[in-house]
Chains A and B, each alone.
Chain A
Amino acid sequence: EAEVAQSPRYKITEKSQAVAFWCDPISGHATLYWYRQILGQGPELLVQFQDESVVDDSQLPKDRFSAERLKGVDSTLKIQPAELGDSAMYLCASSLGLLLVLQFFGPGTRLTVL
Chain B
Amino acid sequence: KNEVEQSPQNLTAQEGEFITINCSYSVGISALHWLQQHPGGGIVSLFMLSSGKKKHGRLIATINIQEKHSSLHITASHPRDSAVYICAVSSGAQKLVFGQGTRLTINP
Chain B residues within 8 Å of A98, by CB: 93-94
Measured CA separation A100–B49 after assembly (Å) = 9
Contact with A along B86-106 (1 / 0, CB 8 A): 101010011110111100000
- Given A43-B98, A44-B98, A100-B50, A105 and B43 contact (CB-CB distance below 8 Å): yes
- Given A108-B41, A108-B42, A100 and B48 contact (CB-CB distance below 8 Å): yes
Measured CA separation A107–B101 after assembly (Å) = 17
- Given A105-B45, A107-B41, A99 and B94 contact (CB-CB distance below 8 Å): yes
Nearest CB to that of A103 among chain B residues?
Answer: B45
Number of interface residues of B (CB under 8 A): 24
Chain A residues within 8 Å of B41, by CB: 37, 89, 91, 107-108, 110
Instruction: Indicate if B44 sits at the interface (CB-CB under 8 A).
Output: yes
- Assess the B94–A101 pair: CB atoms within 8 A: yes
- Assess the A45–B100 pair: CB atoms within 8 A: no
Q: Which 6 A-B pairs rank lowest in CB-CB distance, beginning with the nearest?
A: A42-B98, A105-B43, A108-B41, A98-B93, A102-B45, A98-B94
Min CB–CB distance B1 → chain A (angstroms): 15
Chain B residues within 8 Å of A87, by CB: none
- Assess the A102–B42 pair: CB atoms within 8 A: no
From A41, A100, A103, A107, residue with most partner B Cβ within 10 Å: A103
Instruction: Indicate if A56 sits at the interface (CB-CB under 8 A).
Output: yes
Instruction: Indicate if B40 sits at the interface (CB-CB under 8 A).
Output: yes
Instruction: Indicate if B26 sits at the interface (CB-CB under 8 A).
Output: no
Nearest CB to that of B87 among chain A residues?
Answer: A42
17 A-B pairs (CB sep. < 8 Å): A41-B100, A42-B4, A42-B98, A42-B99, A42-B100, A44-B98, A56-B93, A91-B43, A98-B93, A99-B30, A99-B93, A100-B48, A101-B48, A101-B94, A103-B45, A105-B35, A108-B43
